[in-house]
């Protein structure tokens, strides 16, 4: 099973921040961190951030983050369970994915 790399997480964090329209300094201020910490989070080196850090980052961007547990077949996924870690307001968007089936795009390696 392929492990999610720190680089993939970093790329997702940068995409999330840019979509929210924030610089690293602005995100750091919103999250209560310093810019150097945000820079390390978004860097490809080092350990992957824990769920509390990912939740705080997502909240600072005004977005949701969650965990999805799924069985994966060659062309589809079936969501067994999903948990919202952080979401704007009181929304619980990931829990609504339980039991859903999704077609998976074929990726070229």
- pLDDT for the residue 89: 74
CATH class of domain segment(s) 6-62: mainly alpha
- pLDDT for the residue 72: 93
The model's pTM: 0.83
- Convert the pLDDT of each residue in 8-24 to its tens digit: 999 999 999 999 999 99
Q: 72 in helix, strand or coil?
A: strand
For the chain, the residue count is: 109
The full set of domain ranges for the chain reads 6-62, 66-103
- pLDDT for the residue 93: 85
- Convert the pLDDT of each residue in 26-75 to its tens digit: 999 999 999 999 999 999 888 899 999 999 999 999 999 999 999 999 99
CA angle at 22 for the pair 10 and 34, rounded to the nearest 5°: 70
Task: Work out the average pLDDT over 83-94.
Answer: 82
The dihedral region occupied by 50, where left means phi > 0, alpha psi between -120 and 50, and beta the remainder, is beta
């Amino acid at each position: 099973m392929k492990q999610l790399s720190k680089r993939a997480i970093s790329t997702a964090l940068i995409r999330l921040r840019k979509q929210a329209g924030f610089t690293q300094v602005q995100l750091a201020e919103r999250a209560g961190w310093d810019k150097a910490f945000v820079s390390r989070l978004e860097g490809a080196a080092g350990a992957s951030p824990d769920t509390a850090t990912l939740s705080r980052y997502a909240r600072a961007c005004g977005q949701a983050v969650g965990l999805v547990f799924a069985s994966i077949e060659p062309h589809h996924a079936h969501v067994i369970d999903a948990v919202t870690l952080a979401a704007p307001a009181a929304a619980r968007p990931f829990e609504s994915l339980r039991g859903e089936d999704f077609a998976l795009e074929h990726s070229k390696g």
